[in-house]
Amino acid sequence: MTRAELVIVGAGPAGLSAAIEAAKNGVKVLLIDENAKPGGQLFKQIHKFFGSKAHRAGVRGYVIGQQLLQETEELGIEVWLNSEVCGIEDSGHLLWVIRDGKESVQVRAEKLILSTGASENAVTFPGWNLPGVMGAGAAQTMINVHRVLPGKHIVMVGSGNVGVIVSYQLLQAGASVEAIVEAAPKIGGYGVHTAKVCRAGVPFYVGHTVKKAYGTDRVEAVDLIALDEKFRQIPGTEIHLACDTVCLATGLTPLTELAWLAGCKFDFIGALGGNIPMHNEKMQTSVPNVYIAGDIAGTEEASTAMEEGRLAGVNVACALGHCTAEHAKTRSDEIWENLNALRCGYFGQRRRDAKDLILKKGADLGI
């Protein structure tokens, strides 16, 4: 049996930030991740981040990852990699962990922060199971982490920020993006991202979807088709495009299995990706010693995930008696100010409203 004051599951931007914030306040942290390397999605993010200049805007995602890992090391935070948390018992106090695929370990934790992230959604169409059809995140991992180009002629399905950013990075990696397809009548991603791929000659097809993918051993072409206002396919509007890769950037769903296991109370928040554990302004769930941060608390971006991690980190430190309530309050107010700044405007207000709803529902549950 291993004992830890604080166990954090998931060493992405939220988990690393939570670990750093808690450790700075004197908490002994054990950070667990199922992957071979920490950093979550940060090391795939080769673009310069938005946000406030005061909070590392303008810095490329992988550099932020490097900075977080360095801080983690300097603070002496214990990190278990290749370690899967498979079970949670005793109201979030007891974890069952498989290390390196062979060793079964029990960990007793006073406090638990779940920062497990999200997984990609798929849309299905005839031929979607052909080799060459993949998540946009998978393509991004291939080009930016493993330096393998999945194909030369890409069709991107989904025009949110993931779809347009990955399209841009595929262009940088030497591919040609034949189309960005969007079922909605309007493009979803930031205009500055879409303008970047647009001036590289990438066409957008709004109000379209993939009707069918063709190919024998792998995808060789797709038929796009126009959609009416009720998202029904309009026969006769097919556009045939040759391609060797179809990337799906059709949203993310929070990875909440461990929160279900821990017994957290959930509600459905469509704007943030689905069923989400309700929480309070300290990121504490309905199970008092279990906190959440990042995409598990609603899919957003790395910049918000890092702030939520800090929020959970400082409040856990306070709950463990490592810092005063005044310190936690001052720091939390600071972080909330950053979060509110990231959640306003044309794109952010919807997430802000959804987050306010979570806090309200959390309060109704007595969290």
Partner 1 sequence: MNAELKIKGAPSIEELRASPAFPSYEELRRGPIAVIECIEEIPCNPCEGACPFHAIRVGSPITNLPHLDVEKCVGCGRCVAACSGLCIYVKDFTYSETTCTISFPFEYLPLPEVGQEVEMVDRHGNVICKGTVRRVNNAKANDNTAVITAEYDKAYFEDVVNMKRLGI
53 binds partner 1 (CB under 8 A): yes
Which of 104, 108, 148, 195 forms a contact with partner 1 (CB under 8 A)? 195
Which positions ≥6 away from 19 have C-beta within 8 Å? 8, 11, 29, 31, 72, 75, 77, 309, 313
Q: CB of 5 within 8 A of CB of 29?
A: yes
Which positions ≥6 away from 48 have C-beta within 8 Å? 57, 58, 59, 60
Q: CB of 80 within 8 A of CB of 32?
A: yes
In the complex, minimum distance from the CB of residue 183 to partner 1, in angstroms, rounded to a whole number = 14
Which of 26, 58, 131, 288 forms a contact with partner 1 (CB under 8 A)? 58
Query: Which amino acid appears at position 94 of this protein?
Result: L
199 binds partner 1 (CB under 8 A): yes
51 binds partner 1 (CB under 8 A): yes
Which of 35, 50, 275, 365 forms a contact with partner 1 (CB under 8 A)? 50
Contact positions with partner 1 (CB under 8 A) in 288-307 = 303
28 binds partner 1 (CB under 8 A): no
242 binds partner 1 (CB under 8 A): no
Site string for partner 1, 204-233 (x = CB under 8 A): x-x---------------------------
Q: CB of 338 within 8 A of CB of 55?
A: yes
Which positions ≥6 away from 68 have C-beta within 8 Å? 13, 16, 17, 20, 39, 42
Closest CA to 248 of 175, 160, 189: 160
Pick 180 or 255: Cβ nearer partner 1: 180
Helices (H), 161-256: 161-172, 191-198
In the complex, minimum distance from the CB of residue 201 to partner 1, in angstroms, rounded to a whole number = 3
Which of 192, 235, 236, 270 forms a contact with partner 1 (CB under 8 A)? 192
347 binds partner 1 (CB under 8 A): yes
Query: Which amino acid appears at position 233 of this protein?
Result: Q
346 binds partner 1 (CB under 8 A): yes
CA distance linking residue 73 with residue 148, whole number of Å: 30
Q: What are phi and psi of 334, to 5 degrees?
A: -60, -45
344 binds partner 1 (CB under 8 A): yes
Pick 201 or 321: Cβ nearer partner 1: 201
Pick 196 or 361: Cβ nearer partner 1: 196
| Contact residues: partner 1, CB under 8 A | 47-53, 57-60, 171-172, 174, 176, 180, 185-187, 190-202, 204, 206, 303, 340-348
